[in-house]
């Protein structure tokens, strides 16, 4: 497609709902009905022979269940069909080795959600500057927080429209996530410089030009103390529960307070991640990152009985730190944000980038003196600097030398691009 042409873009927008007590009961009832329908569908799928597991038979089973069980009638018919489509897609992801097999959804471990697959049923109207109204099937008109312009009214059309929504309930409240489809002009190629990025734990993002992106603690001191207090309170109340006894309402409320504080920390981390990736996509034309296999990096060091692992506690702490930084989510954000601003994201092989000297290009044992300092031990070089900055320079140098990874046939292969001969990886 030529530059300046129109392209379709799909994105989601999450807004906070303002529900009355009666509307809360209706939305919660629909969410529990959707979870129950999933469990019934999963039980039916396991009992039926393989040749009879078809969409037609599954749809007929769902229709019969909605007639036999009055509790499922609170769920709209379109939402019930969305449960079936989501369940079949989950099996497809499992067969293609992208996810685990679907399983039963527990009442307390599952995020309550209801899908609204048809956008024409929403009838969104902006009431004033801060609030809008949306029509929820079998609930009615409800208010939501208006924080982003949506293609509604005269701004809506065949190419600029809302295709659906999803109601969710988490520790921070009840929200609605709109699925938006727009038609926008393809951006001009980004003329910004190239940059290599090294991810880490102490320094989350280090760039090859010396720029670093870090963050502080996600919870304040008072919030940390409050979280520790409720965790201790939950442990004490859990001790008084007999085996097999139902969890008390008091313990459930304690769990809700803990989940609220953790959700607040996650929301702050996600906001910081969005701001950082947006700044990078706006500044640089080509962003080069390492092709990391994060699932292998966070494997447990426990080992087996015959061959027990070593430094298990230290490795567990490192795994938690890596998971909290969410490197994979950072790369996912950079993929669509660089494309939005006309840039590109490239992945290069990861082995050796932190141990190789970016000045002479050689790997000499003992050069990584500490976690933060790199001093090349090769005679005639002696380059020294920040270790993360050195790794980021190596990442960029690999791209300039043509070692870019592109997906092909389900795996990554090395593509020899145009060779560039820079004096050093800058």
Supply the pLDDT for residue 144.
94
Supply the pLDDT for residue 276.
92
How many C-beta atoms lie closer than 10 Å to residue 285's C-beta? 17
Scanning 362-416, the segments in alpha helix (DSSP H) are: 387-400
Stated as kind and residue range, the H or E segment containing 91 is helix 77-95
Strand partners, 185: 6
Supply the pLDDT for residue 146.
92
Supply the pLDDT for residue 34.
93
**pLDDT for 97-144, tens place per residue?**
888 899 999 887 788 899 998 888 888 888 888 999 999 999 999 999
Supply the pLDDT for residue 304.
65
Q: Are 146 and 130 in contact (CB under 8 A)?
A: yes
Which one-letter DSSP state was computed for residue 363? Answer: B
Closest CA to 171 of 86, 50, 254: 254
Supply the pLDDT for residue 27.
93
Residue 317 token pair:
């702490």
| Distance, first Cα to last Cα, the chain | 33
Supply the pLDDT for residue 408.
38
**Mean pLDDT by groups of 10 residues along the chain of 426 residues:** 67 91 93 93 91 88 88 90 92 89 86 88 88 92 91 76 90 90 84 88 86 89 94 89 81 90 92 92 90 78 69 79 85 90 88 80 74 77 80 86 60 39 39
Between CA 337 and CA 342 the distance in angstroms is 9
Evaluated on CA atoms 230, 233, 237, 239, the torsion sign reads positive
How many C-beta atoms lie closer than 10 Å to residue 400's C-beta? 21
| Helix, strand, coil share (%) of the chain residues, nearest 5 | 40, 25, 35
**pLDDT for 238-290, tens place per residue?**
888 777 788 888 888 999 899 999 999 999 999 999 999 999 999 998 899 98
Backbone conformation region of residue 356, classed left if phi is above 0, alpha if psi is from -120 to 50, else beta: beta
Beta strand pairing status for 403-408 and 411-416? antiparallel
Supply the pLDDT for residue 200.
84
Evaluated on CA atoms 369, 371, 374, 378, the torsion sign reads positive
Question: Which string of b and e fits 230-262 if b means at least 16 CB within 10 Å?
Answer: beeebeeeeeeeeeeeeeeeebeebbebbeebe
The whole-chain average pLDDT of the chain stands at 84
What is the architecture, at CATH level 2, of domain 187-216+267-426?
A: 2-Layer Sandwich (3.30)
């Amino acid at each position: 497609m030529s530059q300046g042409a129109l392209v379709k873009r799909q994105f989601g927008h999450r807004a906070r709902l303002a529900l009355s007590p009666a509307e809360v009961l209706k939305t919660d009832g629909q969410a529990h009905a959707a979870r129950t329908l999933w469990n019934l569908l999963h039980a039916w799928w396991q009992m039926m022979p393989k040749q009879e597991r078809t969409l037609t038979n599954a749809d007929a089973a769902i229709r019969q269940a909605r007639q036999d069980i009055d509790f499922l009638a609170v769920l709209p018919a379109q939402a019930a069909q969305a449960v079936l489509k989501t369940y079949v897609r989950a099996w497809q992801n499992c067969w293609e080795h992208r996810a685990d097999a679907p399983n039963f959804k527990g009442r307390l471990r599952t995020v309550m959600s209801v899908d609204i697959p048809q956008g024409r049923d929403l009838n969104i109207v902006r009431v004033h500057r801060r609030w809008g109204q949306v029509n929820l099937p079998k609930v009615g008109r409800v208010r939501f927080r208006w924080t982003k312009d949506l293609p509604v009214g005269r701004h809506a059309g065949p190419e600029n429209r809302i295709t659906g929504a999803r109601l969710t309930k988490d520790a921070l409240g009840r929200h609605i996530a709109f699925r938006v489809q727009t038609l926008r002009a393809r951006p001009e190629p980004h003329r910004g410089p190239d940059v290599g990025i090294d991810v880490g734990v102490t320094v989350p993002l280090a760039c090859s030009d010396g720029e670093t992106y870090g963050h502080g603690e996600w919870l304040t001191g008072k919030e940390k103390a409050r979280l520790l207090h409720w965790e201790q309170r939950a442990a004490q109340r859990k001790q008084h529960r007999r085996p097999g006894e139902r969890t008390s309402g008091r313990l459930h409320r304690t769990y809700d307070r803990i989940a609220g504080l953790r959700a607040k920390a996650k929301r702050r981390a996600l906001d910081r991640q969005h701001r950082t990736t947006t700044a990078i996509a706006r500044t640089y034309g080509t962003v080069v990152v390492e092709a990391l296999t994060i699932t292998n990096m966070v494997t447990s060091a426990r080992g087996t009985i015959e061959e027990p692992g070593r430094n298990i506690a230290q490795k567990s702490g490192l795994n938690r730190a890596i998971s909290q930084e969410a490197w994979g989510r950072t790369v996912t954000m950079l993929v669509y944000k660089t494309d939005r601003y006309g840039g590109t994201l490239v992945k290069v092989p990861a082995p050796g980038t932190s141990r190789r000297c970016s000045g002479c290009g050689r790997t000499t044992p003992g050069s990584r003196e500490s976690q933060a300092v790199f001093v090349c031990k090769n005679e005639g070089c002696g380059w020294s600097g920040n270790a993360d900055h050195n790794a980021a320079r190596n990442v960029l140098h690999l791209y300039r030398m043509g070692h870019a990874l592109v997906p092909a046939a389900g795996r990554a292969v090395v593509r020899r691009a145009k060779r560039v001969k820079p004096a050093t990886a800058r």
